Each structure stands twice: as structure tokens, then as C-alpha cells.
Structure 1
Amino acid sequence: MSTIPARIERLPYSSFHRKLLWLGGLGYVFDAMDAAVLAFMLPVLRTQWHLSSVQTGVLASGTFIGYFFGAAFAGILGDVIGRRKVMVSALIVYCIASLISATAQDWPFFMAMRIIAGVGTGAESAIVAPFLSEFCARKYRGAFTGCLAAFFSFGFVAAAILGYLVIPLAPDAWRAVSVITALPIVMLLWWRRALPESPRWLDSRGRTAEAAVIVERMEAVVRAAGLPLLPEQAFDTSPPAPVERRTPLGQLKALWSRQLAGITVMAWLMWLSITFSYYAFFTWIPGLLVQSGMTITRSFSYSLVMYLAQIPGYFSGAWLNEKIGRRATIVTYMALGGISALGLALTHSDTEILMSGFLLSFFMNGTYAGVYAYTPEVFPTEVRATGMGVSSAIGRLGAIAAPILVGYLYPRLGFAGVFGGTTLMLIVGALAVLIMGVPTRGRSLEEIAALRLER
């Protein structure tokens, strides 16, 4: 039986993991910048290209259409050909499409480039969390993955700063922003060239010797730092024999096996509810504030404050992942987010809008810290990337629908209709996780897989 999982489980947090956190996290920074900066471009592009409210919503959904296909295919391919190859390829696709989008002269071409860029960012965001979580031991895996997801917040804040400082400078300043968000990817690709493949994935494919070489490197880093290594026999985490190689369709069918069907439904509902709510809010909030009577500059400054709430939201969620568990963190933050959205629906003054928006941003991003940690844990190694990727893709359906639906509802129902619906979606997601989820805190990935088999 393989000892690879046991050897990983005994490793303390080290500089090896810190490097993984930075290389994965910086990818999330640029993913978030790409998604968030569009919210600040839309009010400008709407005027420049004379777009209707519905056309603006369709344009906002372009990235998420790409996200859907990128996340789904990245997850499936990540289980078939490996996590690392998919992650690097995704960045290349995003970088090229984002640079080309800066040359767009009309909204259909711009949308086409946004869809292609979305394929890259969707693939990146779906593959990084399951990939890097497989290097972590149970005692810090939840905090690690939650902090990894927290890098999204820096990307959103950076996008808000670009929107506040750069986009108002000139009618075509949005083109410079598209270039700014893409160019740093070249450096990140260079840094990631030495990233190893997941040893747990290699082990599950019968490539145990290759996995052992990577784990030996991890152990060498720990020994060089003078950190303690616990004995392997302290962990009973040996996985079953390597699974048979499946086709991409076989990977999808595995998600609906008797053992995984309930988990798959839970994950899909969780991702759909939080992603719909998240992008209904963040894609439209600058534009909605402008339509409600604010100047572009003031609406962007309010949006920046709301985006800043993401940072404490993510890191508080990452901390609670280990204190109360991922499932409890998700349910609590979704419920509190629903209350905040209800407050936004019922509020009238600018100050109340700012406070409710700040809280909604805080709790929705804290939810994501739990979601990104929890989803890879509830699927076994052989379908972990598929489970994460397809769940994320289902969530992107919410991201696709949300901007279009908000564009349709806001002229008819105003803030109350938009954020009343957000409250309902968050409550549905919280109930799904509460009723159908499984506990993962304090368990190795192999123990969680065994727990599902017993249910």
C-alpha cells in the first residue's frame, strides 16, 4: 500500500507551502482583477457604445460564459492529464485574450474576447484549489485553502483602484486597464515553471515513484528548516489501489455514483447560490449606484469601500475554517450575507447602502473562503478536480444569469427586487450545505473519502 498520503499528512507547514500559496494566490489575484474590473468598465462602455440595459448585462455575462466552459473542462482534464498542465495553459489563454480585448472597437468583438479570457480564468480558478490542497496536511488544509482564496480579494481591490483612478482619466483609459491586468501573467508563468505535479494525483494514477520524489523534496525542505516530522505510522491514510483510467465522460458519470450523488447536488447548489449572489452584487453595484443618482466618481469610491470589505471577509473565513469547520463557516456566512442583502433591499440613504453593501461583501467573501476549502475535500482524489471544476462551472451559470437578470429586474423592481432575490439565493445555499454536507475538519482527504463510503 502507498505511504504517500501518510507522508504528506505528517508534514508541518513550511516554506514549500508558502511558495505554493503565493504562486497559486497570485493567479487568483489576476483572475479577480479580470472579473472585477469589468464592473468599472461597463458604465463607460455603455455610454461609449450606446448599449441598452439588457445589452450591458449580456456584455457583463461574457466572461462568465467562458468561465463555465473553462471551469468544467479544467476539472475534467485536471483528473485525466494532471493538474499542473491545465493550470499553466489556462494562464496563457487568459493573457492572450485579455490583451486582444484592449483593441476592441465594438461590443460584440469585446464580448468574444471576454468569453475566451473567461475560459482561461475559469480554468485557473477551478484547478488551483484542488491542486494545492493535495499538498497539505489535515491540520492546516482549511486555513491554507481559505487564505489561498483570500487572494481574490486583493484582485478585486486592485480592480476597484484601477476603476477609481485610471478609467475616469480618458474615454479609452479602459484599454490601458485591460493591458495592465494581463501583462503580469507573463511573470507568473515564469515563476510557476518549477511547480511539481500533485503527489496525491500521481499516486492515484499508479505513478507512486514520481510522487515519492516530490514528497522527498517536501520533506527535505522541512528538515532543512529544522521542523519536526511526525512518524508515518501515526496516520492511517493509505488510499485504495489506483483507480482505472476514465474517459472525460466517465469522470462526469462518477460524480453521480451512489456514494457521490448527494455531495454533487450539495456542491452544485452551494456554488450556484453564492456565485449568483456574488456577481449580481459586484458586477452591477457601480452601475446601479450611478443609475440611482450618484456620479461615476462617487459610485466608484463607494464600490471601493465595499471591495475593501473582501479582505477581512476572506481571512476571517479562512480562520474560522479551522476553528468551527468549513461547513459551519459556509452556513453562518451565507445566512449573515442573506440578512445583509435584505438590509440592502430595504435601505434608502447613501450611508445605509454603504454599510449594508460593506457587510454583504464581507460575508459573501467569507463564504468563498469556506467554499474553496470545502469543495476539494468532499470529492475523492480521482475525481477531485472534476468535482471542483464542474461545481464551479455550475456556479458560473449563476454568474451568467445574474448580470442579465439584474439588468432586466432593476428598472422594474429597483434595489428591493434585486437584493431580495439575493437573500433568497443565499438562504437556499446555506440550507443545502447544512442538510447535505459532510464534516471535514480534522480529517485527512483519505479519511473523508472513507467516510462517504460508509454513509
Structure 2
Amino acid sequence: MADQQRLLDGMPQDVEQGGDADEGPTYTVGEALDCIGFGRFQGMVLFYCGCAWAADAVEMMLLSFLGPAVRCEWGISPSAESLITSIVFCGTMLGAYGWGVLGDAKGRRVGFAATAAFTFAFGILSAASPNYLSLVVLRGLMGVGLGGAPVAFALFLELVPSSKRGVLMVALQSFWTVGSMLEAALAWAILTDWGWRWLVAISSLPLLALLLLYPFLPESPYWLVASGRTADAQALLQRIAHANGRPLPPGRLAPSAAAAAAAKAQADSKALEVEGGTQGSTGTGKGMKIWGPLSQLATAFRPLLSGDLRRTTLLLLLIWFVNALCYYGLVLLTTSLHSHGGGSGCSTGGRLVLSSADLRDIFVASTAELPGLLLAAAVMDGLGRKWPLAASQLVIAAATGSLLLAPGRWDTALLFIGRACSMGSYAILYVYTPEVFPTRVRTFGLGVNNAMSRIGALVSPFLAVDLVERGSPGIAEGTLALACLAAAVACAFLPLETSGKELAVDGAANENSQEDGEMLPPAPSESEHRL
């Protein structure tokens, strides 16, 4: 009995004392955030998460300059140049799974800090790469860190009221545009004279600032409730209400039914192990240790591919793949098309030289993301998520297809339009995707789709760089246009519209209520959460 009591003592206090849950009125996290509204507290979190998003954009925009610069210095082939970019996206694809699981298991704060530290370390080290092989390895590891970017989105999403979720998430996405523009301006200022190593090193510094400010970052109240830490979530909501000068709803925060059931099941299981002694601790136990990570991954995937979420998940995987293929394809096309223009190319000293006109056009094309975001913010809450997303994919297809009809003459204008709509699509996807997944798999679901987008990004250099270098830009442009048409059709078949709906905590997202839908399996035990 003493051993069983010690097990119960390890349970969250608000779960163990669940008998008080019937006393007085209760409210959900979503209801509390809607009552508190958006204020100073979320404004500070917006700035912090936005800076993290801008830092990631800096690293991504850097890729469009790094490949051509390394090609000039080391004389590598077009395929090797493309690999410098693709290896980063390969790393982000792998990192998205790991950081997503970490963010769901250990909290958004832990996942946020881990990914920033990892990205900064390998970003700095890659600036000192002595040869091509070391550069590829270090950039790939840096990409693993970049795979955790969705954790920042999930954290901010879970701190804002549902009525302003679309506009605020687009506001967060705008920091990506700021980061892209800053990197283009930085390359304009130092790339030709200082070289790519200084550009890589300086581009990593914003991540160091984020690590220094990490102690001020709050945890997600949704994650706290889903983890059975209702008292901690209540305290956090009180802090937000005090900072914003708004009251909480009457009553107290309702605990998560799934968290209580999972904690009870875990305690019962451990109690049976105590009563049964050491039986079963050999043989099977070793097998569980070996196959634990695979079992955990299969358990995490199960709710995404079952019930009402299956169709949504599969369609989103296609849309994310295509949008990344087109977005990064257009980013790389912006540089590759201009690096072969008059006055641009490799100098005799092995340094990339871009003319002022080409640098200006690259910078102008990067500013296209801002109007794309503003347009997404204007229509997302009024027209919903699905149809603006489908329309943007159609416009991207038209813009990239038009590059075939008027090569050279209208390149900057068409790239501007394509990048504007592509960024608008990204803004909608980053709002819509976490809205359709419940709290326990929200960062994992977003991470899986983000990983699929990295596959599209991984392919993009071989279209937008390799084919252009080999004199076949039309094939690249036509492929991007057809892919966007397929994505537009997929958008039309998405079954859920999430605009104005409260985030789901325990069950799958539903158009009508967070209580509807398939319930998730019990939460994994603490040992299963370890990566």
C-alpha cells in the first residue's frame, strides 16, 4: 500500500483530487482566453515568437545566396549546389517529428528552447566549414533545428482568443516576411565584399538573442490542462488576465477528462506492477525498450490517420508539400534567374558578384510577402480558411505559368505575385492546420505537415536551381504551375472550416463543437515521452 501511495503522490494534484470538479461553475481554456481578450501579455509573446519566426526566415532566405556563393568559391556542380539547400530541408523534415513530439511531451517552452539552441550552434559552426562535405553536414544539422519552428506557432496559437486567432497568426507570420527582407538587405550590403562566411555567421545571431530572453517565455495553458496540470494553467490564466486588465470568467478552470483518465490508467498500471513484483521485467521489457520509439511514433500517428481526421490529414499533407515546393521554388528562382543576368556571376577571385539591379530586384521580390500576408489577414476570418487557400494556389499557378510566356520581361512582377500568394497560403495553412488537431497532438500534427512541406522544399532546388543552371527554366516553371493546380483541387475537398471555432482539447476538431469527434487514446506514459 505504501508503494501504491507513493505512485499516487506522483500524480498531478488537481488530477488526484478530481472529486472537487463538480463543485461550482467551470470554464475551458478557450472560454477564459476569449473573456480575457488580446492584450499586453499576448503582445509580448507575439514579439518573442515573431522574432523566433524571423530568425528562421533569415536562415531560410540565406539558402538562396549560399549555394551560388559556394559554387563560385569552390567550383561545385549545379547538383552539388542544389544539395546545399536540399540537405537543410532534409534536416528540417527529420527535426519536425522530433521537436513536435518533444513539444507535446515536455511542453512548448522546452521544445522552443531546444530548437533555438540547436539551430544557433550548427548555424555558427557552418560559417567556419573548411570544405564542401563539412558544410553539407553542418547545414543539415542546422536544418534539424529549424524543424522545430512549428512549436512557436503552436505556443502562440494556444495563448490567443479564438475571435482574433486568424489575424494574430497572420501578424506572427509577418515576422517571417521581415526576416526575409532583412536577409535580402544584409546580403545586398555584405555578400559581395565580405563573402558568404560572414553572411552565415551574422544570420545566426538573432537566435542567440532568443536564448537570452527564454526565461520570460510562458507555457501553453492548453498543454498544461492536457497534461493534468490544471492548477498551473489556472495560475497562468490569472497572470494573463492581470496583465491585460480583464477578469476571468466566473468559476474555475475545468480539468481535462482525457488527462485524468490517462493519469488514473498510468497509476493503476504501476500499482499492478508493484503488486506483481518483478514478473515480466525480463525479455518483454527489453523488447519494449528497443521498440519504444517506434511504438511511440505509431501511437502519435494513430489519431491523425483515424476517424474524421484521416481525410483532412492526407489532403493537408499534399497541400503543404506543394506550397513549400512553390514557395521555395520561387525564392530560389528569384536568385538563380538574376545571378545569370548582365553584370552578375562569379568573379575571378571566386566570389559571387550580383549587380545592383539584380540585388534590387531580389529585394523587391522579397517584399511581396508583406502584401500577401495583409491580404490573407483581411479575408481569413471573413471568408474562412479553405476558399482563400484554394484561390491563392490558383493565382500562383497562373503566375508561374506566365513565366513561360514572357521570359525575362515580366519576371520580377510575376515572381512578386507568386511569392505574395505563396506567403498568403503559408499564413492560412499555419492557422488552419493546428486548428483542426486537438491539443495532445497539435504540435505533432503541425510538425508532420511541416515535415511534408520540407520534402517539397527539398525537391525545389533541383527544379529552381539545377534546371536553371542547365538551361531549362521552362520545365521548372511549368512543373510548379501544375503542382499548384493540384493543390487548389485538394483545398476544395478539405472537410472542415475552423474559422471562429474553439480549439479542441481532448477530441478531434469538429465544425460544430470541440466535444464532438473521436476521443484520443490515453496519453503516453512519462517513459514513452522520452525521445
- Fold match, TM over 0.5? yes
Q: Distance in 2 between matches of 1:238 and 1:211?
A: 10
How far apart are 1:414 and its partner, in Å? 2.6
Q: Deviations over 1:119-149 (max 9, x none)?
A: 11221x2211112101111100111111111
Q: Deviations over 1:313-362 (max 9, x none)?
A: 12321232222222222122121121111122322233x11111111111
How far apart are 1:232 and its partner, in Å? 5.7
Give the match's secondary structure for 1:72: helix
Q: Distance in 2 between matches of 1:393 and 1:92?
A: 20
Mapping for residues 52-451 of structure 1, pairs under 5 Å:
52-123=77-148, 125-170=149-194, 173-223=195-245, 227=246, 229=247, 231=249, 240-242=257-259, 244=262, 247-291=296-340, 293=342, 295=344, 296-297=354-355, 298-350=357-409, 352-410=410-468, 414-446=472-504, 449-451=509-511
In the alignment, residue 255 of structure 1 is paired with which amino acid? L
How far apart are 1:21 and its partner, in Å? 0.7
In the alignment, residue 398 of structure 1 is paired with which amino acid? G
Percent identity reads: 26
Q: Deviations over 1:142-199 (max 9, x none)?
A: 11111111111111111111121210114xx211111111123222212221212111
In the alignment, residue 176 of structure 1 is paired with which amino acid? W
Name which of 36, 55, 70 aligns with 1:30. Answer: 55
In the alignment, residue 296 of structure 2 is paired with which amino acid? T
Q: Distance in 2 between matches of 1:73 and 1:222?
A: 34
**Aligned position for 2:348:** none
In the alignment, residue 418 of structure 1 is paired with which amino acid? A
> Which has more radius of gyration?
2
On the 8 A contact 2:509/2:517 being kept in 1, the answer is no
Q: Distance in 2 between matches of 1:84 and 1:21?
A: 14
How far apart are 1:294 and its partner, in Å? 5.8
On the 8 A contact 1:126/1:389 being kept in 2, the answer is yes
How far apart are 1:58 and its partner, in Å? 1.0
In the alignment, residue 376 of structure 1 is paired with which amino acid? P
Give the match's secondary structure for 1:291: coil
**Aligned position for 2:270:** none
How far apart are 1:69 and its partner, in Å? 1.2
How far apart are 1:280 and its partner, in Å? 1.3
How far apart are 1:284 and its partner, in Å? 3.8
Larger RCO (alpha carbons 8 Å, 6+ apart) = 1
Q: Distance in 2 between matches of 1:450 and 1:363?
A: 28
How far apart are 1:439 and its partner, in Å? 0.7
Cα RMSD after superposing both structures: 2.4
Q: Deviations over 1:353-391 (max 9, x none)?
A: 111111111111111111111111011111101100010
TM-score by length of 2: 0.79
How far apart are 1:71 and its partner, in Å? 1.3
Q: Distance in 1 between matches of 2:406 and 2:87?
A: 31
Gaps of 5+ in 2: 1-20, 264-294, 345-353, 519-531
Q: Distance in 1 between matches of 2:105 and 2:486?
A: 33
Give the match's secondary structure for 1:74: helix
Q: Distance in 2 between matches of 1:428 and 1:75?
A: 28
How far apart are 1:292 and its partner, in Å? 5.2
In the alignment, residue 262 of structure 2 is paired with which amino acid? E
On the 8 A contact 1:330/1:430 being kept in 2, the answer is yes
TM-score by length of 1: 0.92
